[in-house]
A and B are shown apart, each in its own frame.
Chain A
């Protein structure tokens, strides 16, 4: 007979969950150069990332965090905080959820959304640093683009639906109701569906 299997998570993820690195101690974020927060408690995930920046070299020297969320949310913020140290701001800004998941030794499909918040919070922290240091021109906002005009569904909504498990156009419609009225956005939506499947799941 088989013994109890391992967790649904990789050993790396388990290690980061058991011994999370770089947790922000206390409540004070004033001493940090940039602060970013994403998600909300109602949805079950919220992440805050704070960074210290070497202003001469444009490099992140320290990254700490707080996370409200499940094991993979905690572990993905922990691993992210290790990944960004020593990277330039530009480099860190482009860390993708897939890289985070990879560093964690993979995530179960339904947990990918947990690792998406960390990199978003990091980008918010970097933007916050730019704003505070008179570099507003470097701030990059993530603008959502409306794809389905009838139902007001954006590319972000489509990305979220993919992260929540939609893999086909039909499933996407069940999740978001996109394209359920006039249907003119079908082609563009399908391209995005494939793109996000590729970005997040390598499919």
Chain B
């Protein structure tokens, strides 16, 4: 059994930053309800607002534009659900009854969109090119008087491709629609400034950036129509009912504070690690292909398709060696369809089944990359040796 532990699944979640952990442990005694007027309540309130300042500062927002929520998924659900509310305060879905999103969004956007479609909202899906970039011409063609909102993720969780949110937002605003970006995988990995981007809504999650799970934030630009998804309380200025997750919020505040310090240098280091990993895989393993944008992507994310092998088998053999990765093969998660993101980029279904996402983070080291490069080639060789994809005179002979 493996003696080295390598965690290359940071896009799934990250370990708590030691500073975050320290601060959360110190705050464990803080139990007050931020809504209470007494000293215990005021202590909790002070810490929640302090965290709000830090999150706002990190993305260039004002404090009153930050709503703490339970997850990135909740934030995304909240934004899209604004659309079907018939209140005059909400986005007038009746007049502009179309939403535009992309084929590579997180399921929390795609499934919510599908649900809205059942409620009469028209939903249009943007295609992406082979690198995962949306087609701006297609967007221009779709935009019109009928479009109320556009939701495009900033960085893709599976392949790391970054979209030009600033340019997209300009187009969207010119057409009179609102702009949302799911920036869960981008915030804390690349610089994000909501004013520069110009977006109306932006989603953040704490646990992708070394903060705790179960807390996220939604940026809502001042003056933009909004109504809560979760009702029945005055918390978050009446925009998200429910007693605040004080400890989580405090942890999130510390997490973004640490990101602000560590991110710039780290991006460069991770990019170098990714180059070594990429080159190492290319040199030691035949019949592979890289997914995602070659330059315009997250420095930490490398997605590789291995011909003739199924992703779950790779994942589990790596697990036996102490290495944690994730797969674009849905077989591991129970569905039979391969990754919708890879299929949208035009990757063949067979290759999509054999895709692995390596996502590195602040603690990832060259030593870990080297260990992975030692272990991976024999595993691929081993799986290919038992694969039908490699029989009778070469590749894919069996399926022809």
In the complex the two chains form, what is the Cα distance from A37 to B396 in whole Å?
13
Contact digits for A32-45, partner B, Cβ 8 Å, 1 yes 0 no: 00000100111111
Q: Decide if A69 touches B349 in the complex (CB within 8 Å).
A: no
Taking CB as reference atom, which chain B residue is nearest A66? B388
Interface size class of A (residues with CB under 8 A): 20 to 34
Quick one: given A42-B349, A42-B350, are A67 and B386 in contact (CB under 8 Å)?
yes
Give the contacts of B81-131 with A (CB-CB under 8 A): none
Q: B275 to chain A: which residues have CB within 8 Å?
A: none
Distance in angstroms from B324 CB to nearest chain A CB is: 10
In the complex the two chains form, what is the Cα distance from A108 to B3 in whole Å?
29
Q: Decide if A68 touches B389 in the complex (CB within 8 Å).
A: yes
Q: B331 to chain A: which residues have CB within 8 Å?
A: 44, 69-70, 114
Residues of B within 8 A of A (CB): 308-313, 316, 319-320, 329, 331-332, 334-336, 338, 348-350, 353, 385-393, 396, 398-399
Q: Decide if A23 touches B386 in the complex (CB within 8 Å).
A: yes
In the complex the two chains form, what is the Cα distance from A113 to B387 in whole Å?
18
Q: Decide if A48 touches B385 in the complex (CB within 8 Å).
A: no
Quick one: given A44-B353, A66-B391, A67-B387, are A18 and B320 in contact (CB under 8 Å)?
yes
Distance in angstroms from B313 CB to nearest chain A CB is: 6
Which of A20, A74, A110 touches B334 (beta carbons < 8 Å)? Answer: A110
Which of A27, A65, A69 touches B310 (beta carbons < 8 Å)? Answer: A69
Distance in angstroms from B64 CB to nearest chain A CB is: 39
Q: Decide if B310 touches A7 in the complex (CB within 8 Å).
A: no
Q: Decide if B388 touches A164 in the complex (CB within 8 Å).
A: no
Q: Decide if B313 touches A43 in the complex (CB within 8 Å).
A: no
In the complex the two chains form, what is the Cα distance from A7 to B320 in whole Å?
11
Give the contacts of A28-79 with B (CB-CB under 8 A): 29, 37, 40-48, 65-71, 73-74
Q: A66 to chain B: which residues have CB within 8 Å?
A: 386-388, 390-391
Q: How many A-B residue pairs have CB under 8 A?
A: 88
Taking CB as reference atom, which chain A residue is nearest B334? A110
Taking CB as reference atom, which chain A residue is nearest B316? A71
Distance in angstroms from B347 CB to nearest chain A CB is: 12
Give the contacts of A112-155 with B (CB-CB under 8 A): 113-114
Distance in angstroms from A30 CB to nearest chain B CB is: 10
Taking CB as reference atom, which chain B residue is nearest A23? B386
In the complex the two chains form, what is the Cα distance from A43 to B50 in whole Å?
51
Which of A18, A44, A68, A108 touches B336 (beta carbons < 8 Å)? Answer: A44
Q: Decide if B385 touches A37 in the complex (CB within 8 Å).
A: no
In the complex the two chains form, what is the Cα distance from A70 to B317 in whole Å?
11
A17 within 8 A of B: yes
Quick one: given A27-B393, A46-B389, A66-B387, are A113 and B399 in contact (CB under 8 Å)?
no
Leading 8 A-B pairs by shortest Cβ distance? A70-B312, A110-B334, A41-B350, A44-B353, A70-B331, A68-B387, A46-B388, A42-B349
Q: Decide if B399 touches A41 in the complex (CB within 8 Å).
A: yes
Q: Decide if A43 touches B393 in the complex (CB within 8 Å).
A: no
Which of A24, A29, A70 touches B313 (beta carbons < 8 Å)? Answer: A70
Q: A17 to chain B: which residues have CB within 8 Å?
A: 313, 316
Q: Decide if B398 touches A37 in the complex (CB within 8 Å).
A: yes
